[in-house]
Amino acid sequence: MNEQQIRRLLDGVKSESVSVDEAIDSLRDLPFEDLGFAMVDHHRALRQGFPEVIYCAGKTVDQIITIADRIVTRGADLLATRASQEIYNEVAAQLPDAEYHEAARAIVLQKDHTIRGRGRILVVSAGTSDIPVAEEAAITATVMGNEVDKIFDVGVAGIHRLLAHREMLTSASILIVVAGMEGALASVVGGMVARPVIAVPTSVGYGASFGGVAALLGMLTSCASGVTVVNIDNGFGAGYAASLMNRADTP
């Protein structure tokens, strides 16, 4: 449609029913949605292999099903985060191929299993309560075409457990460190590797952990260089950013 408008204008120039000056005036005010498709194209190209994502929190089941259906219809892979078992049940009634990753609270419908990352992404977490956020990061990176490893049994108060996994830590391409409480794991891991570390504070803890603020501040002020931070409990964001960093087909 927009393309048709431009085509009509250019046909007018070609047939000289529209002067060049008139055409310039028209183009000067060219509605942005007319240019928009280029960007959309561009975006789509860049996102190849990326699933479309639904953040379920604060959406009704009907809204989720509608969006999920539209995504799958269009042939894209689907990732729905913060999804309860109930939401999955209703989505699965509509989309029987959708799988539920309980630990990650995520619904996945993935057809394209091409590996797009150049190295492995490693998700490290300490406490058992951090696992949902860590799993959300892992499933996100997986669905975005990465090979993902997980170390979920380490914490700085038992540093030898972490050291025992030194090899896996140093061979990862990108590391995601998920930790609540004081969030010190990010600094320790950041000091052990020379690869990008994405730190995810979690809202795990009580009292002075202030719903993740203690971990967040600890990670932001980490004495280890190369550590960057995402929002509290934002496993998806960490998995997404790690995937961008790990892309093999970009510079």
Site string for a second copy, 151-180 (x = CB under 8 A): ----xxxxxxx-xxxxx--x--x-------
Tell me whether residue 24 or residue 93 sits nearer to a second copy (CB atom). Answer: 24
> To the nearest whole angstrom, how small is the minimum distance from the Cβ of residue 209 to a second copy?
4
3-state secondary structure the chain: CHHHHHHHHHHHHHCCCCCHHHHHHHHHCCCHHHHHHHHHHHHHHHHCCCCEEEECCCCCHHHHHHHHHHHHHCCCCEEEECCCHHHHHHHHHHCCCCEEECCCCEEEECCCCCCCECCEEEEEECCHHHHHHHHHHHHHHHHCCCEEEEECCCCHHHHHHHHCCHHHHHHCCEEEEEECCCCCHHHHHHHHCCCCEEEEECCCCCHHHHHHHHHHHHHHCCCCCCEEECCCCCHHHHHHHHHHHHECCCC
> To the nearest whole angstrom, how small is the minimum distance from the Cβ of residue 96 to a second copy?
26
35-54 residues in contact with a second copy (CB under 8 A) are 35-40, 42-43, 46-47, 53
Residues touching a second copy: how many (CB under 8 A)?
110
- Among the listed ranges 73-81, 84-92, 95-103, 120-128, the one in contact with a second copy (CB under 8 A) is 120-128
> To the nearest whole angstrom, how small is the minimum distance from the Cβ of residue 83 to a second copy?
15
Tell me whether residue 81 or residue 96 sits nearer to a second copy (CB atom). Answer: 81
The residue from 87, 126, 148, 151 that contacts a second copy (CB under 8 A) is 126
Tell me whether residue 32 or residue 85 sits nearer to a second copy (CB atom). Answer: 32
The residue from 124, 138, 143, 232 that contacts a second copy (CB under 8 A) is 232
